[in-house]
């Protein structure tokens, strides 16, 4: 068992409200990611769950039992940080063995556990090295191994891949999901990187200003963002948001465009709205009835695709196109819109309207 | 405006470290030229030598037709933007922008006009009366860029100007820089370690490694045909799959029975690897046409695409980029096939492109 639940977590530092009623339900065995920008309260949430932060309010339940007042050790959680925090003078073997030695495990049990976790992380050949003789990626693996060598109730990870270079990060993403599947434990993982969240999580909680904005699977969060802010934070290139309002059977843009009103919008006429368009749901290469007239602003080749920036009046629409697409700034372009895949948000509250029709 | 020519630029420090090793670059007039590489590759040293902030051990730098080796930075007519903002903390935005013009002794009327113009272009009008501590990081960086632009120099030299911005803002400012450069037509040399930034900004990219230029090319050239294994690993995320291949019967044979179309002019009797982009592979239902049997190791749904990590019995797992509509689960048995064109092929001993 390894369920972790947080209810109504509140914490302020001076006049900054770091946590403003955070609720999380982390199912047993899940890879649960808390995603948010810096300052959202992610690390504070994790530290509160670990018992490293005293709360102003709220409770932490572990395996259904109130653990709010338990010491960190009694909670039986393992933490992995973005800095590796290895003992510099000890070998990888001794670093990994240290949590077991602290628990007075027998040396044969320790040897077996270290051997097993080293095989899982492919670090058998590093065991006799000290941190100074390892690369950053190797140290991160050893730090992970040290957390994984125990069988705690859950693993808490605070941006463990942040200090790795891009290539290693990509590899470690895959490694972590593999390790999670192999071990079958509960992972609670904090990051500001939406690619990490989407690629590894089975559940994502999106956090902003100490409040949970949305909880869902990666697909739900990407395809049915609960509000305008989540839509903008998750997905790259960022979703384009165009000011508009409904008028009869039309959607009329603040920049003068007009599109058929999607059947599933319930917003009453005249209410200020935002039309949200993901770069892959618009096209400058396809022709279609429902299109926005604009001017090419710039091209950003990314290799496997090129992002085309189109100015529609003063607003920008980002469009995913084939890598070989060409054009010159200033040129007139028509952006075909797949309205069945569009998002509509209330411009005042930012909340998504009528996602059920999608 | 002017192009920049760097000929056999060499920089050796007193302790013997060679930071830049006989680098040749020819940057066109009006070009947005990116120098890309990991830390320590020599890109910043090269840029600083262009700016005159670093004296090279040997080699020549020409801006326009002028040999500038012996000119101090101020006489090179270039503007430099650093990764830190370097604004004057006690000056309002307006005066920070005016500073370089006043230093050149321009009449106050012209100063006002040019500040107003650059403020409009960079959308800084409502920030003109604020001091730096009342600006966000992104706003400070826009002011720093505007201050470089206001001088209309022959060339802009930029050293990772976006590094301190958060991801969202970075993408926005990137778009603005590219647009501005196109509008002004001023030569720009831009240094970064971020391959996405390099790809999306550059007309051409120079990839540097250990003080040497590994490749110069357009974004699509360096993406489609990396000149070396280093470039192959550095450009693209996830990076190119490097698959050991044998040449037989007019095809490239990878492990697990994977077959690739060979490029022309392959050398014989060498140990080769093919570079296969994740989007040039396809995951299918098991047993589909031209596939080899494989197993999904993991599936990473990134919203607009899914990256599959696939084991096809080749020793090294490969990464495959698929549209989000194609769904396979971890541990599922699938087929794997090569779907696109001829891959670049590398010699494993020289690590260079051979065909």
| A71-88 mean pLDDT | 86
The beta-carbon neighbor of A301 closest among B199, B234, B279 is B199
| Sign of the alpha-carbon torsion through B135, B141, B147, B149 | negative
Which of A122, A163, A174 to mutate against chain B (most B CBs within 10 Å)?
A: A174
Asked if the Cβ–Cβ distance from A173 to B278 is below 8 Å, we say no
Residue A12 phi/psi, 5-degree rounding, is -125, 150
Asked if the Cβ–Cβ distance from B300 to A174 is below 8 Å, we say yes
Say whether residue B220 is in contact with chain A using an 8 A CB cutoff: yes
Asked if the Cβ–Cβ distance from A329 to B195 is below 8 Å, we say no
Asked if the Cβ–Cβ distance from B196 to A323 is below 8 Å, we say no
Regarding predicted confidence, which is higher, B326 or A5?
A: A5
| A341-356 mean pLDDT | 86
Quote the pLDDT of residue B84. 62
Q: How confident is the model at residue A171 (pLDDT cuts 50, 70, 90)?
A: confident
The beta-carbon neighbor of A234 closest among B38, B224, B303 is B303
Pairwise CA distance, residues B222 & B231, whole Å: 8
pTM: 0.87
Say whether residue B170 is in contact with chain A using an 8 A CB cutoff: no
Asked if the Cβ–Cβ distance from A198 to B301 is below 8 Å, we say yes
Residue A41 phi/psi, 5-degree rounding, is 105, 15
| Listed residue (A187, A145, A147, A175) closest to A29, CA to CA | A187
Alpha-carbon distance values, B236 to A163, B297, B319 (Å): 19, 21, 12
The beta-carbon neighbor of A199 closest among B233, B278, B307 is B307
Q: pLDDT tens for residues A190-229? A: 999 999 999 999 999 999 999 999 999 999 999 999 999 9
Pairwise CA distance, residues A310 & A66, whole Å: 53
Residue B211 has pLDDT above 90, yes or no: yes
Burial class (CB within 10 angstroms; exposed 0-12, middle 13-18, buried 19+) of A321: buried
Task: Show Cβ contacts of residue B86 under 8 Å, excluding neighbours closer than 6 positions.
Answer: B144
Alpha-carbon distance values, A292 to A284, A352, B325 (Å): 10, 22, 26
| Listed residue (B60, B51, B70) closest to B156, CA to CA | B51
Report how many helices (DSSP H) and strands (DSSP E) chain B contains, helices first: 8, 20
Q: In what order do the strands lie in the sheet with A186-191?
A: A77-80, A154-158, A186-191, A31-35, A203-208, A211-216
- Closest approach of chain B CAs to the CA of A112, in angstroms? 26
| Listed residue (B156, B217, B218) closest to B181, CA to CA | B156
Pairwise CA distance, residues A339 & B223, whole Å: 33
Say whether residue A290 is in contact with chain B using an 8 A CB cutoff: no
Separation of first and last alpha carbons in chain A: 36
Regarding predicted confidence, which is higher, A333 or B179?
A: A333
Quote the pLDDT of residue B1. 67
Cβ-Cβ contacts under 8 Å, A233 against chain B = 168
Residue A48 has pLDDT above 60, yes or no: yes
- Closest approach of chain A CAs to the CA of B175, in angstroms? 7
Q: pLDDT tens for residues B153-193? A: 889 999 988 877 777 778 888 888 898 888 889 999 999 99
Model ipTM value: 0.84
Nearest-CA residue of chain B relative to A37?
B166
Quote the pLDDT of residue B167. 76
Quote the pLDDT of residue A168. 81
The beta-carbon neighbor of A199 closest among B167, B223, B300 is B300
Residue A355 has pLDDT above 60, yes or no: no
Residue B133 has pLDDT above 80, yes or no: yes
Residue B351 has pLDDT above 50, yes or no: yes
Quote the pLDDT of residue A354. 65
Separation of first and last alpha carbons in chain B: 38
| A79-108 mean pLDDT | 88
Q: pLDDT tens for residues A24-43? A: 999 999 999 999 998 899 99
Quote the tokens at residue A253. 């843009």
Judge contact between A325 and A265, C-beta under 8 A.
no
Alpha-carbon distance values, B142 to A274, B172, B206 (Å): 27, 11, 26
| B184-206 mean pLDDT | 95
Say whether residue A198 is in contact with chain B using an 8 A CB cutoff: yes
Q: How confident is the model at residue A357 (pLDDT cuts 50, 70, 90)?
A: very low
- Closest approach of chain A CAs to the CA of B291, in angstroms? 22
Residue A226 exposure: Cα atoms within 13 Å on the Cβ side: 12
Residue A265 has pLDDT above 80, yes or no: no
Residue A174 has pLDDT above 80, yes or no: yes
Task: Show Cβ contacts of residue B186 under 8 Å, excluding neighbours closer than 6 positions.
Answer: B1, B30, B152, B153, B154, B155, B156
Asked if the Cβ–Cβ distance from A301 to B219 is below 8 Å, we say yes
| Sign of the alpha-carbon torsion through A152, A153, A158, A164 | positive
| Listed residue (B26, A195, A279, A175) closest to A187, CA to CA | A175
- Cβ–Cβ pairs < 8 A, chains A and B: 103
Q: How confident is the model at residue B285 (pLDDT cuts 50, 70, 90)?
A: very high
The fraction of chain B above a pLDDT of 70, given in percent, is 99
| A174-184 mean pLDDT | 89
| Listed residue (A208, A211, A238, A213) closest to A225, CA to CA | A213
Residue A206 exposure: Cα atoms within 13 Å on the Cβ side: 25
Quote the pLDDT of residue A356. 47
Judge contact between B23 and B12, C-beta under 8 A.
no
Average pLDDT across chain B, whole number: 91
Quote the pLDDT of residue A358. 46
Phi-psi region of B348 (alpha: psi -120 to 50; beta: other; left: phi over 0): alpha
Q: How confident is the model at residue B120 (pLDDT cuts 50, 70, 90)?
A: confident
- Which neighbouring-strand residues pair with A187? A31, A155
Pairwise CA distance, residues A210 & A56, whole Å: 13
| A332-336 mean pLDDT | 96
Asked if the Cβ–Cβ distance from B174 to A223 is below 8 Å, we say no
| Listed residue (B43, B127, B167, B145) closest to B85, CA to CA | B145
Q: pLDDT tens for residues B56-104? A: 999 999 999 899 999 999 899 898 887 666 789 999 999 999 998 998 8
Residue A82 has pLDDT above 90, yes or no: no
Asked if the Cβ–Cβ distance from A166 to B237 is below 8 Å, we say yes
């Amino acid at each position: 068992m390894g369920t972790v639940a947080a209810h109504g977590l509140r914490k302020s530092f001076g006049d900054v409200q770091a946590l403003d009623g955070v609720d999380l339900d982390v199912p047993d065995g899940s890879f649960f990611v808390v995603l948010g920008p810096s300052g959202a309260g992610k690390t504070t949430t994790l530290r509160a769950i670990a018992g490293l932060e005293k709360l102003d309010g709220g409770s932490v339940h572990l395996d259904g039992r109130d653990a709010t007042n338990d010491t960190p050790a009694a909670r039986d959680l393992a933490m992995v940080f973005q800095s590796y925090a290895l003992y510099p003078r000890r070998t990888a073997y001794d670093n990994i063995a240290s949590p077991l030695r602290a628990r007075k495990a027998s040396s044969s049990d320790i040897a077996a556990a270290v051997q097993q976790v080293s095989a899982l992380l492919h670090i058998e050949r590093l065991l006799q090295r000290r941190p100074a003789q390892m690369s950053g990626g190797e140290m991160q693996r050893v730090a992970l191994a040290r957390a994984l060598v125990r069988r705690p109730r859950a693993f808490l990870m605070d941006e463990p891949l942040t200090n790795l270079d891009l290539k290693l990060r990509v590899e470690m993403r895959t490694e972590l999901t593999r390790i999670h599947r192999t071990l079958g434990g509960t992972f609670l993982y904090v990051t500001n990187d939406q690619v990490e969240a989407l690629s590894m999580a089975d559940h994502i909680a999106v956090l902003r200003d100490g409040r949970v904005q949305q909880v869902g699977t990666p697909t739900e969060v990407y395809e049915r963002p609960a509000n305008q802010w989540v839509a903008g934070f998750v997905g790259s290139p960022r979703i384009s948001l165009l000011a508009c309002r409904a008028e009869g059977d039309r959607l009329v843009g603040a920049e003068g465009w007009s599109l058929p009103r999607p059947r599933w919008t319930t917003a009453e006429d005249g209410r200020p709205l935002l039309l949200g368009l993901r770069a892959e749901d618009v096209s400058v290469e396809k022709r279609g009835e429902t299109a926005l007239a604009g001017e090419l602003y710039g091209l950003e080749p990314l290799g496997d695709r090129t992002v085309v920036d189109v100015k529609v009046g003063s607003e920008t629409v980002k469009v995913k196109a084939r890598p070989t697409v060409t054009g010159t700034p200033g040129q007139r372009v028509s952006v075909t819109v797949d309205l069945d895949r569009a998002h509509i948000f209330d411009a005042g509250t930012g909340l998504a309207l009528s996602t059920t029709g999608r | 405006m002017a192009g920049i020519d760097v000929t056999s630029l060499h920089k050796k420090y007193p302790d013997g470290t060679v930071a830049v090793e006989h680098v040749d670059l020819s940057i066109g007039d009006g070009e947005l030229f990116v120098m890309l590489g990991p830390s320590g590759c020599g890109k910043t040293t090269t840029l600083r030598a262009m700016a005159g902030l670093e004296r090279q051990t040997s080699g020549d730098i020409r801006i326009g037709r002028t040999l500038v080796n012996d000119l101090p930075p101020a006489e090179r007519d270039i503007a430099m933007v650093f990764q830190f903002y370097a604004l004057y903390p006690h000056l309002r935005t307006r005066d920070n922008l005016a500073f370089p013009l006043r230093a050149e002794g321009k009449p106050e009327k012209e100063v006002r006009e040019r500040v107003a113009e650059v403020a409009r272009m960079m959308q800084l009008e409502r920030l003109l009366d604020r001091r730096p501590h009342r600006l966000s990081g992104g706003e400070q960086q826009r002011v720093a860029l505007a201050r470089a632009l206001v001088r209309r120099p022959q060339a802009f030299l930029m050293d990772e100007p976006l590094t301190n911005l958060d991801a969202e803002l970075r993408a926005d400012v990137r778009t603005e820089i590219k647009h501005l450069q196109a509008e002004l037509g001023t030569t720009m040399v831009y240094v970064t370690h971020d391959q996405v930034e390099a790809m999306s900004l550059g007309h051409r990219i120079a990839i540097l490694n250990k003080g040497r230029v590994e490749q110069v090319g357009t974004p699509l050239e360096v993406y489609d045909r990396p000149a070396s294994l280093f470039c192959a690993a550095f450009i693209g995320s996830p990076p190119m799959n490097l698959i050991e291949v044998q040449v037989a019967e007019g095809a490239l044979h990878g492990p697990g029975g994977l077959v690739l179309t060979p490029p022309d002019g392959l050398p014989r009797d060498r140990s080769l690897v093919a570079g296969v982009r994740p989007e040039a592979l396809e995951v299918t239902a098991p047993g589909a046409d031209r596939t080899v049997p494989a197993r999904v190791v993991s599936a990473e749904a990134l919203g607009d695409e899914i990256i599959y990590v696939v084991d096809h019995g080749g020793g090294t797992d490969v990464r495959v980029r698929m549209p989000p509509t194609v769904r396979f689960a971890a541990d599922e048995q699938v087929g794997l096939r090569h779907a696109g064109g001829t891959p670049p092929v590398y010699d494993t001993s020289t690590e260079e492109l051979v065909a």
